[in-house]
């Protein structure tokens, strides 16, 4: 696999952005501290795809750390491997040196090994997979990063192996790395992982990393860190490597982590220990290569998998009930912790049992826990109890409540889990004192956490297995001390084989949250959970429980979902919790309500996946965090606001050198566009200045139309408004300057087009789709804007090739709810992009923009403009859309731009072409919404990215 160097100039992240993401480096966002740097967690803005990142901030006074920073930046920016932590960007500003990389939600391997509660959840199979991932990453460094750029890490240890949400290993921290040659260098690294040869004589080779990796393997096997001490057979406590060398030939099984001892197949253990011991050989030449290590660990995994391959049933991973004795908590311990289940310690009563709070003894780290005592009279009690214990003991995610243990003694069936100090979400929603303290931003954060937990259940348990909760409700979402959401109560959950098309189960669940399709058919699917989650989303918005009733207007009191279906298209803002009504940003509200409504769709196929839900909540969160005005102002209010945007004609003449030909950068139906730099009063902004030609067919009306709209928009993919001038018969609009000009310039210039990769083209399409979706659906309850002139000439590209829609002179405003209402207008737009239905009938729909966007998609795929002509075979030259309709079902791949043909993954191509063809359907009802368009382009990007990895 070849490595690809990142253009570091494009990876610069402003310090302001990082401060915003980390709450100005607050202690609440700090997740780690080392010798040279502190690490913070934060969410970047939409420009950076709302990514959650880890920010490694170098201590300013540490000169040794400065070298490490430069090394890290040079290396990590050029790596491209699924087991190397991904680089996002960096900042060198105001004496700050910061690297941003992917955030690993499950922390480091060391975190898991030193925390007994996390370690007990790491099965032997999971540990083997982590070892394989780390080995693959190390092999990539040693041999896969290019002949001249092979790398020795020099600091392989458990701290530098991060784990993502699927427990996939990611190597990090390249501050000590060296080129892969035999060199003599001063010893650096951690002494307990250090190759003795390197430590003694400074002779550094790739085998030094192999030695450190061998130490890591024994840590994973034993559950102890290299610097920990343990005694075996009453001997003096010793560190890990001393124990290994002392007991390897006789009694090494005694160092196996007790949490996994009953799981490990003896052949798997022997295969693993042999390769790990070869890695720590004192003779460098006897240490295996990384590809051999990978093969041997895979063998150990295959042997282990064969042992458990037949045991799917209700088991997750390998934690079968009979292997859970280590998690047994004596009834005496439970009684002592809960005061013999006294009324004072009771914190909740549910459908399956009573929950008590108590503190365990020192043997259990004095943890404060929740004790759920299952009702003795509950039918199917034994099966449900074992089901929940097996599931909870196998989960490992920050948005799933951690399992501590269980009690199965006498007639008692008790599940012990972490105590969530802030109780359940429903307690906050029904307590007026608590709910008023839940801001809209906090509610979005809770929704996002719950969504991530549900995604883990649906897809995070291996390719074959998925868990369906069947009891998603606000009472089963707990909140910890930071109001972080934690799913609980898996008594109804079932494990489903991902290969089964349909699973029939008697319908169970919580009234008012239960999917009506599942309730009627008995067919259980992940979409059933998504319906229930949609109900929770509306609970958060409305500040009322699903079972509560409320009156709107003079109507009869109704329950939550009845109110939603009654008022969704007309008056849903009346449902917003009064405590947050003044906080909520209009665009954030619309993004959120549309997502929630999709979740409760009565058509299964229309419900979004958890990936989509997470992305949409992140978008709503990002919009909310912007804190900008978000509604189109009324005319009187708007005029008042626009006065602050007036730019004197003298200022504009100075910026354009009195409209000189040298500053002219374009012309169109409106007039001429100039480039200029405004004065210090306008922050020396470089701008595009659009000057109306009084002789043009567009006039005052178009000028006022565009001014009205563009001054009200606020979106990353709409060109930013700077100001305007209406003086001495001049009508001028001033925008941000897009340094890469318009998309059509790139498509008709072969050199520029050659630099537009397929991935970049997809990114541009996604940006335009988001901008178009914004004007179609995010401008208030009653308002949508139809552009009427979408074309590649009206799509600008900034310095990051981010798409910006411009030119709203022909745009029309229409009511959002157009059912039974049609807008008749004289057809306007650009030939070859114009919707034929609109052109013929004069009836304007938002789908007319979708048609024009479909034409742009085919332009991007083909590299030819809509009005250009091309011939296939012996046929006559035809314009783009004629060619598309002629060859769509047979030979459309011939239309692909030759400059990108070798780049496109075939699956990505099919997703893209089907979407684009739907957009240009002659039946406007068959054209997708822009929301659907965004989802399909994101699908295409995901497929293309997986092809490149």
Total number of residues shown for the chain: 949
- What is d(CA 921, CA 909) in angstroms, rounded to the nearest whole number? 18
Indicate the helix (H) or strand (E) that contains 541.
helix 526-542
CB 711 within 8 A of CB 640: no
Q: How many of the other CB atoms lie within 10 Å of CB of 792?
A: 22
CB 230 within 8 A of CB 238: yes
Token look-up 């959002």 returns 816
- What is d(CA 116, CA 66) in angstroms, rounded to the nearest whole number? 36
Give the residue numbers of the binding site for ATP.
Answer: 372, 690
Instruction: Give a three-class secondary structure readout of 678-729.
Output: CCHHHCCCEEEEEEECCCCCCCHHHHHHHHHHHCCCCCCCECCEEEEEEECC
Tokens of 949: 């990895």
Give the residue numbers of the binding site.
Answer: 372, 690
The SS3 assignment for 736 reads: strand
The SS3 assignment for 65 reads: helix
Q: Cα 592 to chain center, whole Å?
A: 16
Burial 632-647 (b: 16+ CB within 10 A, else e): beeeeeeeeebeeeeb
CB 99 within 8 A of CB 39: no
Token look-up 């003079």 returns 554
Helices and strands: H and E segment counts in the chain: 31, 39
- What is d(CA 781, CA 576) in angstroms, rounded to the nearest whole number? 13
- What is d(CA 49, CA 582) in angstroms, rounded to the nearest whole number? 27
Going by C-beta distance under 8 Å and a sequence separation of 6 or more, which residues neighbour residue 674?
655, 656, 659, 663, 664, 665, 688, 689, 691
Strand partners, 113: none
| Closest alpha carbon to 243 in 280, 285, 207 | 280
Tokens of 309: 């391959």
The SS3 assignment for 897 reads: coil
CB 401 within 8 A of CB 418: yes
- What is d(CA 757, CA 899) in angstroms, rounded to the nearest whole number? 8
Phi and psi angles of residue 263, each rounded to the nearest 5 degrees, phi first: -90, -35
- What is d(CA 844, CA 532) in angstroms, rounded to the nearest whole number? 37
- What is d(CA 783, CA 794) in angstroms, rounded to the nearest whole number? 22
Instruction: Kindly tell me the sign of the dihedral angle through the C-alpha atoms of 833, 839, 840, 845.
Output: positive
- What is d(CA 768, CA 933) in angstroms, rounded to the nearest whole number? 10
- What is d(CA 341, CA 364) in angstroms, rounded to the nearest whole number? 19
CB 404 within 8 A of CB 117: yes
CB 48 within 8 A of CB 21: no
Token look-up 């701290």 returns 159
Please provide the DSSP assignment of 80-108 as one string. --TTBPPEEEEEEETTEEEEEEE--TT-B
- What is d(CA 29, CA 103) in angstroms, rounded to the nearest whole number? 12
């Amino acid at each position: 696999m070849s490595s690809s160097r990142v253009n570091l100039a494009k990876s610069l992240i402003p310090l302001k952005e990082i401060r915003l993401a980390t709450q100005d480096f607050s202690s609440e966002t700090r997740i780690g501290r080392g010798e040279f740097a502190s690490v913070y967690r934060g969410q970047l803005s939409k420009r950076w795809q709302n990514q959650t990142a880890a920010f490694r901030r170098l201590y300013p006074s540490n000169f040794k750390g400065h070298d490490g920073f430069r090394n890290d930046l040079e290396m990590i920016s050029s790596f491209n491997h699924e087991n190397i932590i991904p680089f996002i960007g960096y900042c060198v500003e105001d004496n700050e040196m910061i690297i941003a990389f992917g955030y690993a939600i499950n922390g480091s391997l060391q975190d898991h090994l030193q925390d007994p509660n996390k370690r007990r959840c790491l099965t032997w199979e999971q540990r083997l997979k982590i070892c394989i991932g780390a080995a693959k990453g190390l092999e990539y460094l040693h041999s896969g990063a290019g002949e001249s750029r092979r790398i020795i890490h020099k600091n392989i240890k458990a701290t530098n192996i991060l784990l993502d949400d699927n427990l996939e290993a990611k190597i990090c921290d390249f501050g000590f790395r060296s080129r892969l040659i035999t060199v003599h260098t001063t010893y650096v690294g951690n002494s307990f992982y250090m190759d003795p040869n390197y430590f003694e004589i400074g002779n550094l080779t790739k085998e030094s990393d192999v030695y450190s990796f061998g130490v890591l393997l024994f840590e994973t096997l034993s559950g102890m860190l290299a610097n920990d001490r343990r005694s075996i057979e009453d001997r003096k406590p010793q560190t890990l490597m001393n124990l290994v060398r002392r007991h390897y030939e006789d009694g090494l099984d005694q160092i196996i982590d007790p949490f996994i001892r009953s799981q490990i197949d003896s052949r798997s253990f022997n295969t693993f220990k042999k390769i790990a011991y070869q890695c720590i050989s004192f003779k460098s030449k006897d240490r295996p290569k990384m590809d051999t290590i990978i093969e041997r660990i895979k063998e150990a995994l295959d042997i282990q998998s064969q042992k458990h391959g037949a045991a799917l049933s209700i088991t997750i991973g390998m934690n079968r009930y009979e292997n859970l004795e280590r998690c047994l908590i004596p009834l005496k311990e439970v009684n002592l912790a809960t005061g013999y289940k006294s009324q004072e310690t009771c914190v909740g009563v549910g459908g399956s049992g009573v929950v008590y709070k108590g503190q365990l003894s020192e043997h259990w780290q004095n943890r404060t826990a929740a004790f759920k005592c299952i009702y003795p009279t509950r039918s199917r009690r034994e099966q449900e109890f074992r089901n929940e214990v097996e599931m909870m003991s196998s989960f490992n995610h920050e948005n799933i409540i951690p399992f501590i243990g269980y009690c199965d003694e006498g007639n008692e069936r008790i599940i012990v889990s972490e105590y969530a100090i802030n109780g359940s979400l429903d307690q906050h929603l029904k307590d007026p004192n608590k709910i008023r303290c839940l801001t809209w931003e906090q509610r979005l954060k809770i929704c996002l956490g719950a969504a991530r937990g549900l995604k883990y259940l649906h897809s995070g348990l291996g390719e074959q297995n998925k868990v369906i909760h069947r009891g998603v409700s606000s009472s089963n979402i707990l909140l910890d001390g930071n109001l972080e959401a934690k799913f609980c109560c898996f008594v109804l959950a079932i494990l489903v084989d991902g290969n089964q098309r349909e699973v029939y189960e008697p319908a169970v669940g919580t009234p008012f949250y239960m999917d009506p399709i599942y309730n009627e058919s008995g067919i259980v699917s992940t979409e059933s959970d998504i319906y229930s989650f949609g109900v929770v989303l509306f609970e958060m918005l409305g500040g009322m429980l699903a079972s509560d009733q409320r009156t709107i207007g003079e109507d009869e009191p109704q329950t939550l979902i009845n109110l939603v279906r009654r008022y969704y298209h007309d008056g849903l803002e009346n449902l917003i919790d009064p405590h947050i009504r003044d906080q909520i940003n209009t665009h954030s509200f619309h993004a959120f309500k549309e997502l929630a409504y999709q979740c409760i769709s009565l058509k299964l196929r229309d419900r979004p996946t958890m990936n989509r839900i997470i992305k949409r909540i992140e978008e709503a969160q990002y919009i909310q965090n912007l804190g900008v005005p978000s509604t189109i102002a009324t005319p009187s209010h708007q005029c008042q606001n626009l006065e602050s945007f007036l730019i004197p004609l003298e200022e504009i003449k100075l910026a354009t050198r009195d409209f000189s030909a040298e500053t002219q950068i374009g012309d169109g139906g409106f007039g001429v566009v100039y480039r200029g730099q405004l004065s210090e009063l306008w922050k020396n902004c470089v701008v595009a200045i659009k000057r109306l030609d009084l002789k043009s067919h567009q006039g005052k009306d178009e000028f006022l139309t565009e001014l009205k709209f563009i001054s009200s928009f606020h979106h990353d993919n709409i060109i930013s408004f700077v100001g305007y001038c209406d003086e001495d018969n001049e009508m001028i609009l001033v925008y941000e300057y897009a340094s890469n000009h318009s998309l059509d310039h790139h498509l008709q210039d072969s050199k520029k087009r050659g630099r537009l990769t397929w991935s970049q083209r997809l990114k541009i399409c996604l940006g335009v789709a988001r901008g178009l979706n914004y004007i179609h659906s995010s401008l208030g309850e009653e308002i949508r804007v139809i552009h009427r002139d979408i074309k590649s000439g009206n799509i600008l590209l900034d310095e990051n090739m981010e798409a910006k829609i411009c030119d709203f002179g022909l745009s029309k405003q229409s009511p959002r709810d157009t059912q039974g209402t049609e807008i008749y207008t004289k057809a306007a737009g650009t030939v070859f992009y114009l919707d034929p239905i609109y052109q013929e009938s004069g009836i304007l729909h938002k789908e007319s923009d979708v048609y024009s966007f479909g034409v742009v998609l085919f332009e991007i795929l083909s590299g030819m403009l809509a009005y250009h002509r091309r011939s296939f075979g012996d046929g006559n030259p035809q314009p783009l859309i004629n060619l598309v309709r002629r060859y769509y079902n047979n030979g459309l791949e011939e239309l692909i731009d030759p400059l990108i043909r070798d780049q496109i993954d075939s699956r990505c191509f099919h997703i893209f072409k089907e979407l684009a063809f739907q957009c240009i359907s002659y039946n406007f009802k068959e054209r997708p919404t822009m929301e659907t368009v965004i989802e399909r382009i994101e699908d295409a990007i995901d497929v293309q990215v997986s092809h490149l990895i």
